[in-house]
Every structure is written in structure tokens, then in C-alpha cells.
A and B are shown apart, each in its own frame.
Chain A
């Protein structure tokens, strides 16, 4: 499962656990066996730091390792701030935790969310706004971010999220195979592609150079999330739109959608993408010598680990315009009735620090949102990160409505329709129409968090 699908985990700090232990101390078995794990909240209270910032993050694996390294660097630089970080795992109850903690006024000082989910998460009620001046004091200004990205973090004119990165869908290619096929330029990068025909010519040549038993391109053709992300990318390349500005009308263009769906489908019908390797096996095929795979940038460490010769570009601009799907990890301030004071300032300081010191974060394949990082020599040296950094300027994102966002309702409802077209169980034009009617239904649907439809929610920046 990709990190995209993992959402953000939130959990309760250790205090309540201790409380329950005390209350139910009679169950000594649990006490004696589990004290080490149960009592973890105590040490944070005991530490001598002036300010304690509770921070919930959701990063495990390689990202978790990088995040902890950045936190440690922050701790070393700011010994007066005690960061109590809780790493949580994606799982179903995850937004529940954040929502209930915020509603019940037990929220941490700082949290992480996918940017696309912010609009649906009742900003203003469950999320507190960022203090832009305070951020500026710690060195983070709007000017340091891509304007489109910043706009997504603003709801009703107020900043509710501070982007840490963007993570994008990429076209990974094997340099060894492409070289054999004559598809590698002098600079060691894949030849540029600007149209659908060119793209399929490239696939045709690549196929000839591919070992038997391997598919030409892996594209997660049965996965509702990936297929949806790819659709968003190519639909945006065509200049397609979703809703009007007031979120009252569906402006989804079924002709453009049909074009995209036909394009996706053709990979399968022309035999470049084997439905038998539709899922995560696409990456395995790639490691074995398949020339292409479309994957999230989080696969960079995986392919680095496999020690193969590869490069990565944003999804090819086959419809003329550059655009690839992007989501973003961002910092949020979960609602606290009495937000303010040292802990709040510490949360601003910590978030600002991590955003500005995200060089290490880029090792996980993510593109740091803080643009000054991108022009540093250290970042330019990173490969293939520097090759796809342009994706920052060509983000294709889901519409900014409450039901959108990483693996949200929109992806859940529309993703399967894209899959059915790609795999051939629905005709592309019928699928496009069905997407449109689903979008219409969603637009009329009320956000369970506040009982308002997208139009009533007024989530336009």
C-alpha cells in the first residue's frame, strides 16, 4: 500500500493510558507485563524543558526514519522545547481520533494531514488557523511556496495547513532497457514525449527491447486510487474542469474524460500493460527489467534499494500540457479551545523548522514544498529527485471540495469507474457519463461533519 493510502494517524498521548492503569491497577498481570509500554507518557512530563509540544504524525518506514531525524535535529537546536511525538499508523479509526480529540478538546498541538482532506475536515471548528505572522517570525512566508499549493491550504481566506511536501505520480523508466531501445537521450534521460502517438511509439520500441515475460508498463490498472490519480493528471492536461466556482454545477467534460479513459484503456488493449500484473506487481516487473512503471514518488527508496539503473519524470504530457497528480502532506493545528501560548508558538516553530529543513525528507522521494530547498546544490544533486522537481509547477489536483482528498469519498466512488474502463468492463464513454452522474450526486451530498453541501460549505479560497 502506498503512503497515499495510509492517510494520517492520530492517537492519544500516554497520559490517559496512565490514568487507566492507575484506575484499574488491580489487574496486575497487565501491570507487570505491560508497564514498559503503558507508562510511556511519564518521561515527557518529567523532562526539564520549558515548553512541551505534542505532535502527532503518521510516518513509519523510511519516512518515519527521516521524520525522526528531522525532529532530533530540531531538538538539538532548540533544547528548551520538548517535542513529544507520537507516530501513528494509517487505519480506519484515524480521522476519528483527530476529530474526536479536536471536538473533545484533547487535541495535540500539532498534527499532519493530507492537504486534500483539509477542506472536508471542518476547518475553523476542528482545525485552528495558522498564525501567519508567527510563521514569518520563524522564517516561513507565503512567497516561499508554489502559489497554487498555498492556495489549496487556504480556506475562506485563512491558512489552515502548512504544506510540507508534495508527492506526485511519476513515470519511472529503466535506463538500461531504454538505451537498448534507443529511447535514451544524450543526457541519459528519457526522450521527451508530447503526444499520445509519440507515447505509444515509445512503448512500441520499448516493448521490443523488453525481456520475455515482462510487461512494458505497470500502471496499477486494477487499483482504484492509482487509476483515479492518473485520470486526474491526464484530465488536467486536457484542461478539464470539475465544478463551477460556486460548486453548484458540474462542469465535468465527458468528451475529455472519454479521451482520457480511452488513452488509459489502450495500454491494455495494445498489450503494453498486462492486467495480470495490474497491482503492486508492476513495481516488481520493473525491478526485473520491465521498461516503465507509473508509481508514486515514494517508490524512489524502493528502487534505490533494488540497485537498478532508473530515472523518473512526471507523467508524460501526452495531451500537450504538463500536469501530474499531486497530493501534499501538510501540518495542521487541531482545534484547542485555549490554543495560544508557548505550546502553540512551539508548534509554529517546529512546523516552520521542519518545512525549512526538508532536505532529508526528499530522500523519501517527496518534493519539499519549501521552494528555496529545491534550488540548493544538495537537492540538485539528488537523483532522480531533481529530474522530476518540475512537477511542483504542474500539479494536477482533485477539486477543492469536502469529499475530495487522498482516498476520500471522491476517489472511493469514482476510482472504481475509471478501473472498469481501463480493464474493459465498461466502455469509456459510458464510464465517463457514469463519472459525471456520480459527481452530481456527490455535489448534492451533505458533509457529515457540518451538514452542508459543497456549495453551502463555501470552501472557495
Chain B
């Protein structure tokens, strides 16, 4: 039953996967023009990253030499060595990882439960609460940073992992996305299970969750990216350089004593490359995840 249901749901509701495999076609003039155009645009998009890479392989003095030049005259990895030897960058990397993994795990659990609760169960005040969640869509650390900070401060969570993680764990948007998705699952599937004597929780775990894998993956991927890249909140809530995440450490600590561009670029690549490498391997899932999460706002 579950297989049939899965295919059903996939065809009906899941996002269309952005397929890579178009049939081979001959090179028409228009295709040649498009390819050239795409190459040019891609070059523009990648140039900043390439420039960062070259800069990181120069000495600090060569990096700021006037006039500037693309390729290092003396290739050196001193900037890369320096960030590993003197900086806290490995700490930051671990912190980013811990925070993003925790945030993703908590967000997935609570928003799947809540999305299902709102979509499929009845309880007093549900509509009111749903309205409240919609209000939550408009609240972010950018909008209410100061009161949120004083709240977290009162809880004694400034400069702790908890202070960084928990406030990122109540994303109304993710609940809303999963709520919409669960609403789309045919009720009959669950009703059949109830008649067979299954309880709500079992139905949720054995029928609903397996059907929702693509949506959950989408939410998870999106949450991970957002959390890995989050700057504002970790910036507000941490001062201890040992506890900082990558984006925060690079922007605050590495910038603080006169910018050393080669090191800064090396650090930036360290922060950015993991996701880009992951993207190369899991492109299909990530693209579907981001597109699906975004499209769910419709």
C-alpha cells in the first residue's frame, strides 16, 4: 500500500524534479549562441570565487600590490597555513557543523509534528494557533533582534550553543510548508489505517512520514543551508571567539586587526566550499529542496 501511495503522492504533489537528462540533440546555431552566452555568464559568476582563490595563494604583501594582477607571482600557501595555525577556524568549523546539525534535527522534528498536527488533528484553539504561526512568519532576528536578545540573555543563554541553536528552531515557515503538504495527502490513506486499528502516532510514523520524504528532505536541506550561513543571530548572541560559527568568526575576528586579505579569502573559501562541494554531489536533491521550499510559499 505504501508504495502505491508514494507514487501517487509523488506524481500528484511532490515537486517536479528538475531533470538533468535531456535527450542529446544536434548543435543548432541557437544552441551554440546559448551555450556561449551561458559560458560568459558563468564566468562572471565564478570570477569572484576564482579571484578569492588566487588571492588566498598570494603573500599578504603581494595581495595588496598595485597594480593588481590575477595570478600569484609566487604561489604560497602561507595564508592557508596561517589560518589553521593561528586562528580559531577549526573551532568555528566544528561549531557551525554542530549548530547546523542540531538546528536541522530539531526543526525537522518539531515542524513535521506541528505541520501534521495542524493539518490533520483537531484540538481546541487550532485556528487561533494557526493564525499565530502565520504572524510568526513576519518575525525574525532582523526584525525583533533587540527584544529577542534580551529574552535569551535573561535565560542565561548568551554565548552558549543553546542560545545560538534554540531561537533558530521555531521557524513558522517550515511548519507552514509541511502543513500545506500534509493537507495534500489523501485522507483515505490514514482512514484506512485507523479502521485497521492503528493510532494517530503510528499512522504518523508509518504512513505519513514515509510519504513525506521529499518534503522533509527539502525542509531539512533548506534549514541546513540557512543555518550554516546564518550570521545575524550568532553575531548577536556570541562574543566568545571559541564559540563562534564560521560566518560570524570570519566577519568579526578575522576582520579586526587590519584586514589581511589573503587570509580572509582563504577563510571565506573554507566557509563556503563545503556546501558547494556537497552541492556538486547532491545537486538534484538540493535544487529540488530549495525550489520546493521556496515554491511552497505560493
Contacts and interface: CB of A to CB of B under 8 A. Distances in A.
Interface stretch (B33-41, B60-68, B127-135): B60-68
A430 interface: no
Contact of A33 (B65, B97, B239): B97
Given A37-B94, A93-B149, A93-B236, 14 more contacts: A9-B240, A20-B156, A20-B157, A20-B160, A27-B102, A29-B101, A37-B91, A37-B243, A86-B240, A89-B253, A90-B239, A91-B252, A96-B153, A97-B153
Contacts of B239: 9-11, 88-91, 93-94, 97
Q: For chain B, which range describes its interface: under 10, 10 to 19, 20 to 34, or 35 or more residues? A: 35 or more
Interface in A298-318: 298-299, 301-302, 305-307
A16 B156 contact: yes
Contacts of B281: none
Contact of B257 (A19, A288, A298): A298
B256 A20 contact: no
A167 to B, nearest CB: 12
A100 B165 contact: no
Contacts of A307: 61
A213 B98 contact: no
A320 B159 CA distance: 49
Interface in A87-108: 87-94, 96-97, 100
Nearest to B241: A89
B258 A12 contact: no
Nearest to B97: A33
Interface of B: 60-61, 64-67, 91, 94-95, 97-98, 101-102, 105-106, 149-150, 153, 156-162, 165, 235-244, 252-253, 255-259
Contact of B60 (A11, A92, A299, A305): A305
Q: Mostly helix, strand, loop or mixed at chain A's interface?
A: helix
B161 A1 contact: no
Contact of A298 (B66, B162, B258): B258
B158 A60 contact: no
Interface residues of A, number: 52
20 contacts: A1-B259, A2-B258, A3-B257, A10-B239, A11-B158, A20-B157, A30-B102, A33-B97, A33-B101, A37-B95, A37-B243, A87-B241, A89-B238, A89-B252, A90-B252, A93-B149, A97-B158, A97-B159, A287-B61, A288-B65
Interface of A: 1-3, 6, 9-12, 16-17, 19-20, 24, 27, 29-30, 33-34, 37-38, 40, 60-63, 86-94, 96-97, 100, 213-214, 280, 283-285, 287-288, 298-299, 301-302, 305-307
Contacts of B252: 89-91
B159 A11 contact: yes
A169 to B, nearest CB: 15
A12 B60 contact: no
